[in-house]
């Protein structure tokens, strides 16, 4: 086994605050190239092209987004109805602005599918792998201080 493979973290999760909404904290899992390839491959569909007489593969975008969202977003806290207009067009006529939108896979998928700014934020965060190592170290330091402070 290679030294790099032996040292590679199995799953790295960080909590990161969405910059435009105070208190909206998203828990993300870093997906490496292999993870993304597996998600892509599970999202492939095959069609027969009559013109070329070849089987062609095509990515089912809905399936890809569903798999990606399920693997990348582990949770969130601090998202309220009043915050949604910063993420996507919303009709707040019959809604309670103070109601919290709790995380579940369906809500996360709806947000990824319908909010380009949120999707871009998750994608950008995923590509900034340094955040995952720096944030992880800071969280470990906080946790060790909290653990050592309790008798």
Read off the pLDDT band of 115 (50, 70, 90): very high
Question: Which runs of consecutive H residues, i.e. helices, occur in 96-128?
Answer: 105-114, 116-127
Predicted confidence (pLDDT) per residue in 39-53, tens digit: 999 998 888 888 888
When the pLDDT of each residue in the chain is averaged and rounded to a whole number, the result is 85
pLDDT of residue 88: 94
Predicted confidence (pLDDT) per residue in 117-140, tens digit: 999 999 998 877 666 665 555 555
Top-confidence residue, 133 or 22: 22
73's tokens? 């977003």
How far from 32 is each of 36, 62, 68, 72, CA to CA, in Å? 6, 21, 12, 10
Taking residues 84-91, report their average pLDDT: 94
Top-confidence residue, 67 or 50: 67
Global pTM exceeds 0.85: no
Q: How many CB atoms lie within 10 A of CB 84?
A: 20
Please answer whether residues 27 and 73 qualify as being in contact, where contact means their C-beta atoms are separated by less than 8 angstroms.
Answer: yes
Q: Which of 110, 108, 118 is nearest to 86 (CA)?
A: 118
């Amino acid at each position: 086994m290679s030294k790099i493979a032996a040292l590679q973290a199995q799953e790295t999760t960080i909590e990161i605050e969405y910059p435009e909404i105070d208190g909206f904290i998203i828990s993300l899992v870093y997906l490496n190239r292999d993870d993304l390839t597996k998600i892509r491959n599970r999202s492939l569909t095959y069609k027969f092209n009559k013109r070329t007489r070849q089987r062609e593969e095509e990515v089912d975008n809905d399936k890809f987004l569903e798999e990606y969202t399920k693997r990348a977003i582990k949770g969130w806290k601090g998202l309220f109805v009043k915050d949604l207009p910063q993420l996507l067009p919303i009709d707040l006529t019959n809604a309670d602005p103070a109601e919290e939108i709790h995380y579940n896979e369906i809500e996360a998928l709806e947000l990824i599918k319908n909010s380009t700014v949120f999707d871009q934020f998750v994608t950008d965060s995923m590509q900034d792998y340094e955040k995952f190592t720096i944030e992880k170290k800071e969280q470990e330091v906080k946790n060790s201080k909290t653990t050592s402070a309790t008798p």
